[in-house]
Amino acid sequence: MRAVIGLEIHVHMLSKSKLFCSCPTDYEGKEPNTLVCPICLGFPGSKPKVNKKVIENAILAARALNCKINPEIFFSRKSYFYPDMAKNYQISQYEIPLAENGYLEISSKKIRIKRIHIEEDPAKLIHVGGDITTSQYVLIDYNRAGIPLLEIVTEPDFSNTKEVREFLFKLSSILAHLEIFNPSKEASLRVDANISLDGGARTEIKNITGFANVQKALDYEIVRQANLIRLGQKVERETRHFDEERRVTVSLRKKEFEEDYGYIFDPDLTKIEITQKWIKSISMPELPDARVKRLIKKYGIPAEQANIIVYTDKALADFFENCAKIYADRKKLARWIVTDLLKCLNWNKITIRESKVKPKDFVQLLKMIDRKVISEALAKEIIKEYVPTGKSPAKIVKERKLVMIKDRRILEKIVKEILEKNKKAVADYRAGKEKALEFLVGQVLMKMEKRVDPKIVREIIKSLI
Amino acid sequence: MIDLQKILEKAKAIQKEYSPFVTLPEKLEKPRSRGRLSGIMISVKDNICTKGLESTAGSQILRGYVPPFDATCIEKVKAEGGIILGKTAMDEFGFGSFCTNSFVIPKNPFDKERVCGGSSGGAGCITQLADFPHIAIAESTGGSISCPAAFCGVVGLTPTYGRVSRWGLIDYANSLDKIGVMAKNVRDAALLLSVIAGYDERDSTSLNVPQEDFTKYCKENFKMRVAVPKEYFTGIDEKIEKSVWQAIKKMESEGMRYQEISLPHTSYALPSYYLIAMAEASTNLAKFCGIRYGFQPELKGNFDEYFSEVRGKAFGQEAKRRIILGTYARMAGFRDAYYLKALKVRTKVIEDFKRVFKNFDVIVAPTMPILPPRFDEIAKLEPIEVYMMDILTVAPNLAGIPMISLPCGFVGKLPVGLHIMADHLQERNAIQAAYTYEAIK
Amino acid sequence: MEYWKIDKELIEHVCKIARLALSNEEKEKFVKELEDILSAFRKIDEVDTSDTRPSFHPLEFKNVMREDEPKVWKWQPLANARHKEKNYFKGPRIV
According to the 3-state scheme, what is the secondary structure of B290-333?
CCCCCCCCCCCCEHHHHHHHHHHHHCCHHHHHHHHHHHHHCCCC
Closest partner residue to B339 (CB to CB) among A86, A140, A264 is: A264
Task: List, for residues A296-329, the tens digit of each pLDDT value.
Answer: 999 999 999 999 999 988 999 999 999 999 999 9
Between the two ends of chain B, the Cα-to-Cα distance in Å is: 34
Burial readout C60-79 (b: 16 or more C-beta within 10 A, e: otherwise): ebeebbbebeeeebeeebbe
Which pLDDT tens digit goes with each residue over B174-211? 999 999 999 999 999 999 999 999 999 999 999 999 99
The rounded distance, in Å, linking the Cα atoms of B378 and B97 is 10
HEC profile of A273-301: ECCHHHHHHCCCCCCHHHHHHHHHHHHCC
Q: Where do the domains of chain B lie?
A: 1-441
User: Within 13 Å, how many C-alpha atoms sit on residue A380's CB side?
Assistant: 11
Rounded-to-integer distance, Cα B422 and Cα B416, Å: 20
Whether the predicted pLDDT of A291 surpasses 80: yes
The whole model's pTM is what?
Answer: 0.91
- Give burial (CB, 10 Å; 0-12/13-18/19+) of B332: exposed
Q: From A407, A384, A404, A409, select the one nearest A453 (Cα to Cα).
A: A404
pLDDT bin (cut points 50, 70, 90) of residue B229 is: very high
pLDDT value of residue A129 = 85
Distance CA A404, CA A455 (A): 13
Do the Cβ atoms of A42 and B292 come within 8 Å?
yes
Mark A117-127 as b/e (b = at least 16 C-beta within 10 Å): bbbbbbbbbeb
Whether chain A has a CB inside 8 Å of the CB on B308: the answer is no
Sheet hosting strand B178-183, strand order edge to edge: B21-23, B83-88, B41-45, B134-140, B178-183, B155-158, B403-411, B414-421, B362-366, B226-229, B258-261
Characterize the bridge pairing of strands A203-209 and A239-243: parallel
- pLDDT for A456 equals 86
pLDDT, one tens digit per residue, over A424-434 is 888 888 888 88
Domain residue ranges of chain A, discontinuous segments joined by +: 3-280, 288-400, 408-464
For B120-139, the pLDDT digits (tens) are: 999 999 999 999 999 999 99
C46 touches B: beta carbon within 8 Å = yes
pLDDT one-digit tens code per residue, B67-115 = 999 999 999 999 999 999 999 999 999 999 999 999 999 999 999 999 9
* A254 has a pLDDT exceeding 80: no
Residues A4-55 have pLDDT tens digits of 999 999 999 999 999 999 999 999 999 999 999 999 999 999 999 999 999 9
Residue A128: phi, psi to the nearest 5?
Answer: -85, 135
Q: What is the mean pLDDT of residues A83-99?
A: 96
Report CB contact under 8 Å: C73, A269. Answer: no
**Range B1-441 classified under CATH 3.90.1300.10:** yes
> Which pLDDT does position B1 carry in this prediction?
65
CB atoms within 10 A of CB B305: 14
Interior/surface letters B28-55, b for 16+ CB within 10 angstroms, e for the rest: beebeeeebbeebbbbbbbbbbbbebbb
Q: Which residues contact A110 (CB under 8 A, 6 or more apart)?
A: A103, A104, A157
Find out if CATH 1.10.10.410 is the number for domain A408-464: yes
Q: Are A415 and A366 in contact (CB under 8 A)?
A: no
Cα-Cα-Cα-Cα dihedral sign, residues A347, A351, A357, A360: positive
pLDDT at A404 over 90: no
Helix (H) or strand (E) holding B128: helix B121-129
CA distance B207 to B213: 16
H runs (alpha helix) in C1-95 = 8-17, 24-41
| Percentage of the residues of chain B whose pLDDT score is greater than 70 | 100
**B344 Cβ under 8 Å from any chain C Cβ:** yes
Neighbour count for residue A245 (Cβ, 10 Å):
5
What is the C-alpha to C-alpha distance for residues A306 and A291, in angstroms, rounded to an integer?
Answer: 9
Check whether C1 has a pLDDT greater than 90. Answer: no
Closest CA to A95 of B350, B330, B274: B330
Chain C: give the shortest CA distance to residue B298, in Å.
9
**pLDDT tens, B28-78?**
988 999 999 999 999 999 999 999 999 999 999 999 999 999 999 999 999
Q: How far is CA A8 from CA A92, A93, A168, A347, A363, in A?
A: 14, 14, 11, 31, 42
Helices A408-421 & A423-430 angle (0-180, nearest 10): 90
Distances (CA, A) of B264 to B229, B327, B343: 9, 29, 17
Domains observed in chain C: 1-44 (1.10.20)
Q: What percent of chain A has pLDDT over 90?
A: 69
Query: How far is Cα B129 from Cα A87, in angstroms, rounded to an integer?
Result: 39
Question: Helix, strand, or coil here: A464?
Answer: helix
> What is the mean predicted confidence (pLDDT) over B270-280?
98
The predicted pLDDT at position A448 comes to 83
Question: Dmax over Cα atoms in chain B, in whole Å?
Answer: 70
Q: How many angstroms separate the CA atoms of A141 and A145, rounded?
A: 8
Query: Which chains neighbour A (Cβ–Cβ under 8 Å, 3 or more pairs)?
Result: B, C
Distance CA B352, CA A312 (A): 62
Sheet holding A99-105, edge to edge: A68-69, A99-105, A110-120, A148-154, A3-12, A189-197, A203-209, A239-243, A248-251
pLDDT above 70 as % of chain A: 99
Beta strand A68-69 with A189-197 is unpaired
Residue C72 forms contact with B (CB below 8 Å): no
Average pLDDT, chain B: 97
- Chain B residues close to A82, C-beta within 8 Å: 303
Q: Which residues are CB-neighbours of A193 under 8 A, at least 6 positions away?
A: A5, A6, A7, A8, A164, A204, A205, A208, A214, A217, A218, A221
As annotated, the active-site residues of B are 45, 119, 144
Q: In three state form, how does the secondary structure of B340-353 look?
A: HHHHHHHHHHHHHH
Task: Identify whether the C-beta of residue B47 lies closer than 8 Å to the C-beta of residue B170.
Answer: yes
Mark yes or no for CB contact B303/A44 under 8 Å: no
Short-list A57, A76, A49, A220, CA closest to A152 = A57
Query: Which chain B positions have a beta carbon within 8 Å of A252's beta carbon?
Result: none
